[in-house]
Chains A and B, each alone.
Chain A
Amino acid sequence: MSSVKVVVTGLGATTPLGGDAASTWSAMLAGRSGVRALTEDWAADLPARIAAKAAVDPSEVLERVQMRRMDRTQQFALIAAREAWAAAGSPEVEPERLGVAVSSGIGGINTTLNQYDIFKEKGWRRVSPFTVPMLMPNGPAATVELEFKARAGAHTTVSACSSGSEAIGYGIDMIRSGRADVVIAGGTEAALHPLNLAAFASMRALSTRNDEPERASRPFDKNRDGFVMGEGAGIVILERAEYAAARGATVYAVAAGVGYSSDAFDLVAPDPNGGAAAARHALADAGLEPSDIRHVNAHATSTPTGDISETEGIRMALGDAADDVAVTATKSMTGHLLGGAGAVESIAAILALRDGKVPPTANLDDIDDGVVVDVVRGEPRVLPEGRIAALNNSFGFGGHNVVLAFSRA
């Protein structure tokens, strides 16, 4: 356990549920789905013709010229970072003490594929000179670094669908190790390209509930049949607690700790031991007991094997204390934001602690018999008063497990 306390002083998000953190959060509490039918011609022959597009397109927010030099992943990250920075009161931190940790699971794949189309059709001279800075996975971190003049280091931790949570973990460690006083941390993804939908469909990973888009993402439900791709970003402002207190910043939650593990089991299939190990490491890192944890924002993507395995891991890590934990899967509403998921779900866990309310898991009509934890359904669940804590689980293809622990301020 570190002697340096890290707090969260700002939140920002642009998701399939809303163009900011507040609208995303209120939609989650209302159990609203952001999944819609894909009506584009290119989707017509795909087995999965549904997705969770960003509720507010970046073109509604950013200037045109700025837009065309950024991949959509960068656009989302910048929008969310601006919101989080403003929410934190735009701290007047020295550039040398401001860090960035912003990740994406795939990076600027739309740019890669679109520019390859241009290359094939029109030749190399028509390929945009901005292609490289737009496609590089560290592009969103660089965009944020430039915007806020951060000179303590800008980092991109890539671990598929745990990338966003890993970035927040990296940010916590930047502050603990003394490298920075403030870190802009989170994740972003914009991968709704026909090839990506085809590639995930080829793995049989996507829901094909095309006739009921809003009902398609249904973690823990018996009739779940895969995840729904989403897009967007989440950003948090992490800050050394003493620094935040000195400037009178509002604290949303304590970023109490992070735990990592890797399964060494299978490239894509989950192992409950891995998630459990990461959760134990997070508790130890945060100095928390299982009984402190009253809420888990599950990774639960709505795939047949992953959701059950995760609930087993939660019980392995928390033991009997798991009986008092309200588990939810906000991907039932946002879809799966891949590298953005861990960051958006961290924001949901932080706001659940702040407001004392856990959003319900949508579409949970008939809970799977293999679920061994208490999943919130129907209405939001009220959390107890006091200094409770929450975990945010994020797991990625490759067997990457990241668990973040947040506690009440």
Chain B
Amino acid sequence: MAMSEQEILSGLGEIVNEIAGVPADEVTPEKSFVDDLDIDSLSMVEIAVAAQDKFGVEIPDDQLKNLKTVKDVINFIQA
């Protein structure tokens, strides 16, 4: 069963908080990981691996660079 956007957003918030220390409630769909949440490229790799564990959806490396915003990741996981 597909997860709702809210469920994914909440899960991403936990991951981003754990890895990058950004408060979970700042992880909102329109935010850019790099420009708004100040997340570096190595941390993005960690977030992608953690998201794979949590949501069971693999994010290939060639896709990862296209996922700029939180909404991009939510869409990718829901697709």
Contact = CB atoms under 8 A, between A and B. Distances in A.
Given A129-B42, A130-B42, A64 B49 contact: no
Contact of B19 (A65, A66, A125): A65
Interface residues of A, number: 10
Interface in A30-86: 63-66, 68
A126 B49 contact: yes
B3 interface: no
B46 interface: yes
Nearest to A130: B42
Given A129-B43, A129-B45, A130-B42, 14 more contacts: A63-B21, A64-B21, A65-B19, A65-B20, A65-B21, A66-B21, A68-B19, A125-B49, A125-B52, A126-B49, A128-B46, A129-B42, A129-B46, A130-B46
Interface of A: 63-66, 68, 125-126, 128-130
Q: Which secondary structure dominates chain A's binding surface?
A: helix
B27 to A, nearest CB: 14
Interface in B30-48: 42-43, 45-46
B22 to A, nearest CB: 9
17 contacts: A63-B21, A64-B21, A65-B19, A65-B20, A65-B21, A66-B21, A68-B19, A125-B49, A125-B52, A126-B49, A128-B46, A129-B42, A129-B43, A129-B45, A129-B46, A130-B42, A130-B46
A122 to B, nearest CB: 10
Which 6 interchain pairs have the tightest Cβ spacing?
A: A65-B21, A129-B42, A129-B45, A130-B42, A125-B49, A129-B46
Contacts of A130: 42, 46
Contacts of B42: 129-130
A129 B48 CA distance: 11
A66 B21 CA distance: 9
Nearest to B53: A126
A125 B42 CA distance: 13
B24 to A, nearest CB: 13
Q: Which of A66, A126, A129, A130 has the most CB of B within 10 A?
A: A129
Contacts of A125: 49, 52
B15 to A, nearest CB: 12
Nearest to A131: B42
Contacts of A66: 21
A344 to B, nearest CB: 31
A129 B42 CA distance: 6
A125 B21 CA distance: 22
Contacts of A65: 19-21
